[in-house]
Chains A and B, each alone.
Chain A
Amino acid sequence: MTAPNGQAWLDMYASMLRIRLFEEQVNDLYTSARMPGLAHLYIGEEAVAVGVCAALRDDDYITSTHRGHGHCLAKGASVDRMFAELLGKEAGYCKGKGGSMHIADQQKGNLGANAIVAGSVGIATGAALSAKKRGTDQVAVCFFGEGALGQGLMYECMNMASLWKLPVVYVCENNLYNEYTHYLETTAGDISQRAASFGIPTHESDGQDVRGVHAAAAEAVRRARAGEGPSFLLFRTYRQKGHHVGDIDRAYYRSKEEERKWAEERDPLKVFGEALVAEGVFDAVAFERVEEEVRTQIAEGVKFALEAPYPQPEEVAMDVYA
């Protein structure tokens, strides 16, 4: 893969902005009681999904998490069908049967968001095994949060991925909180060492810097494609909002000052946007154009989803078996 140029950076910025505005819209839909269920917002972590997915081809695989809207969008899902799924509409990616935590998009290699923490590690690793068996050079990326490090499945799969040199990239988003508990209260030792002990190369860096994320992902994907086996990428990031939209009062587990600092000083869109302007890649006009395009897309997507019909009752018993 050649190094990204100015246009590619603009595209990544637009992709991050799309996720941000999508999530703000989700928050609005949820708090105005137009969206049922749960919503786990990805705001503040956009650089990880976008930086990693920009290093992938359409036919590469990803698996995602309960906080998965960002991964799905970054891998190419369309805003309108995403919103439709979140609202439980027939036009959604899963005909309204999956909802926010289960968006899958086979056309773009998205094998599904997963509401069991670490639940998709086997699926991603198995997709990598499959790619190897079928003789393709596809790569699988497994996104998970640092909370998934508590699950034994993770280590069973990393062991096999290393033994069998599978083309899988494990992407750990350390957003500091396992739901409402700081990860240092739940996580002993050094995170990267856990993967390193299986002989898996590791990389750790700032998850708020999309270009850094992209460079690390591109190298891990290159290795995987070349048959050199799995990698483990650990990105330090921050969940700006609560565990889910209803998690408003967070003072018992983290300070307002901490939230302010990450939002004002380490926001991935702000960091990237300012850098692009400073480097002359991005001027005010380009910025406005991108924002207008994305805002229009979001507005049209929400409108589409709100107006779309619900599934017919007979749909409830369909798709249980293939």
Chain B
Amino acid sequence: MPEQAVAGRQLTMAEAVREAIAEEMRRDPTVFLMGEDVAEAGTPFKVLKGLLEEFGPERIMDTPISEPGFTGIGLGAAMTGMRPVVDIMFGDFLFLALDQIANQAAKVHYMSGGTLKAPIVIRTTLGATRRSAAQHSQSLHAIVSHIPGLKVALPSTPYDAKGLMKTAIRDDNPVVIFEDKMMYTVKGSVPDGDYTIPFGQADVKRSGDDITLVATSSMVFVALAAAEMLAKEGISAEVIDPRTTVPLDVRTLVDSAIKTGRAIVIDEGYQSYGVTAEIASVITEGAFYNLDAPVRRMGAMDVPIPFSPALEDLTVPTADRVAGLARELCRKGN
């Protein structure tokens, strides 16, 4: 069932993330947070506002502007008994820290024959249309999803944001968790008290019979809006959010495609060699003989993200375009 139906308080995405971190820090003294402007500033998006007052500068640590350095330091702390949450302000800055994430954190458990562990959470952002241009707008979850040893989570609702963050902090592996910066003020129901969401468990955000729309993070609302448009035309779309790209809930995606016979994968990462390609491929391999149409991908355009609103909005899938493609696939199948 969609989480919107769960009874509870209305929290914004930012409040849900903050509450998850605060509760985990109260529960476990080894959890701490570090990154640029996380303390007094509470990040530029104010997601962490108030944590410094409760936990103090020893546990909410402002760092220099040194992504590789503080990611590496977080990793060393994780390998020796702590559970750091490392804040990388913009997903684009992951590239600066990739050696520490991909060559170090991802591999330490395997390379050590299973003796060392790296329970580190890297929380960062994704998403365009904020008029931030090419170096502050990318959605780079495919890059880290490609590296064995990392887990990757992408919440699309306040409920998921809280539950996935708690799971990430308690996981014994390095987890990269992406939040859509455009969704921090979106509200949703979040129940009181402690809960976690297991990784590798997709969520059916809307049930349907004619076509499956697999969507991640920012694209879940795009897919839901498309499904609403399609419903008025008599096309019943199922919207599924994998919630984690690693591990991926292949079963739920394939079963839905077998049921509907059609699928579109919508994701804000660059389309080529991206998350849409991997998920489309997995669905095709699992559901091929039940498909009425080719599985289609809708990712971000393969261009550096432009500044001008007139151009930037063209680079990201929209509900109109998702609905248009869905219509086309449903017509062909009939």
> Which residue numbers of A lie inside 8 Å of B, CB to CB?
61, 63, 92-98, 102, 104, 106, 111-112, 114, 116, 119-131, 133-134, 140, 152-153, 156-157, 159-160, 163, 318-322
Contacts and interface: CB of A to CB of B under 8 A. Distances in A.
B116 A104 contact: yes
Contacts of B149: 320-321
B116 A106 contact: yes
B243 interface: no
10 contacts: A93-B112, A98-B113, A106-B115, A122-B76, A123-B72, A130-B77, A133-B58, A133-B77, A156-B64, A321-B151
A125 B66 CA distance: 14
A97 B78 CA distance: 21
Given A94-B112, A98-B112, A126-B73, 8 more contacts: A94-B113, A95-B113, A106-B115, A111-B116, A112-B112, A122-B72, A122-B73, A129-B77
Interface in B78-117: 78-82, 99-100, 103-104, 108-117
Q: Closest 7 interchain pairs by CB? A: A122-B72, A126-B76, A156-B69, A95-B113, A94-B113, A156-B66, A319-B114
A136 to B, nearest CB: 9
B99 A116 contact: yes
Contact of A159 (B64, B148, B151, B173): B64
A98 B114 contact: no
B159 interface: no
Given A111-B79, A130-B77, A320-B148, A125 B72 contact: yes
Nearest to B32: A133
A79 to B, nearest CB: 18
Contacts of A120: 104
Nearest to A131: B80
B113 A93 contact: yes
Given A112-B116, A321-B173, A153 B68 contact: yes
Contacts of A319: 109-110, 113-114
Nearest to B115: A106
Contact of B81 (A63, A130, A160, A320): A130
A160 B113 contact: no
Contacts of A124: 76
Contact of B71 (A94, A122, A140, A152): A122
Contact of A97 (B113, B117, B148, B172): B113
Interface string B168-180: 0000110000000
Interface of B: 30, 32, 58, 63-64, 66, 68-82, 99-100, 103-104, 108-117, 119, 148-149, 151, 172-173
Contacts of B148: 320
A163 B61 CA distance: 12
Contacts of A318: 114
A102 B108 CA distance: 9
A120 B79 CA distance: 12
B111 A121 contact: no
Contacts of A156: 64, 66, 68-70
Given A156-B69, A160-B63, A320-B148, A104 B81 contact: no
A81 to B, nearest CB: 10
A122 B111 contact: no
Contacts of B66: 156, 159-160
A129 B33 CA distance: 13
Contact of B110 (A116, A128, A153, A320): A320
Given A160-B63, A321-B109, A322-B114, A122 B58 contact: no
A129 B73 contact: yes
B117 to A, nearest CB: 5
A160 B65 CA distance: 11
Nearest to B70: A160
A322 B112 CA distance: 11
Contacts of A152: 68
B112 A160 contact: no
Contacts of A157: 69, 72-73
A126 B172 contact: no
Contacts of B113: 92-98, 104, 319
B76 A127 contact: yes
Contact of B103 (A116, A128, A134, A160): A116
Nearest to B66: A156
Contacts of A140: 76
A95 B103 CA distance: 19
Contacts of B72: 121-123, 125-126, 153, 157
Contacts of A104: 108, 111-113, 115-116
Contacts of B117: 322
B79 A123 contact: yes
A133 to B, nearest CB: 6
A128 B73 CA distance: 9
A95 B79 CA distance: 19
B172 to A, nearest CB: 4
Given A111-B76, A126-B76, A156-B69, A134 B82 contact: yes
Q: Which of A92, A96, A157 has the most CB of B within 10 A?
A: A157
A124 B82 CA distance: 14
A160 B75 contact: no
B111 A160 contact: no
A93 B72 CA distance: 23
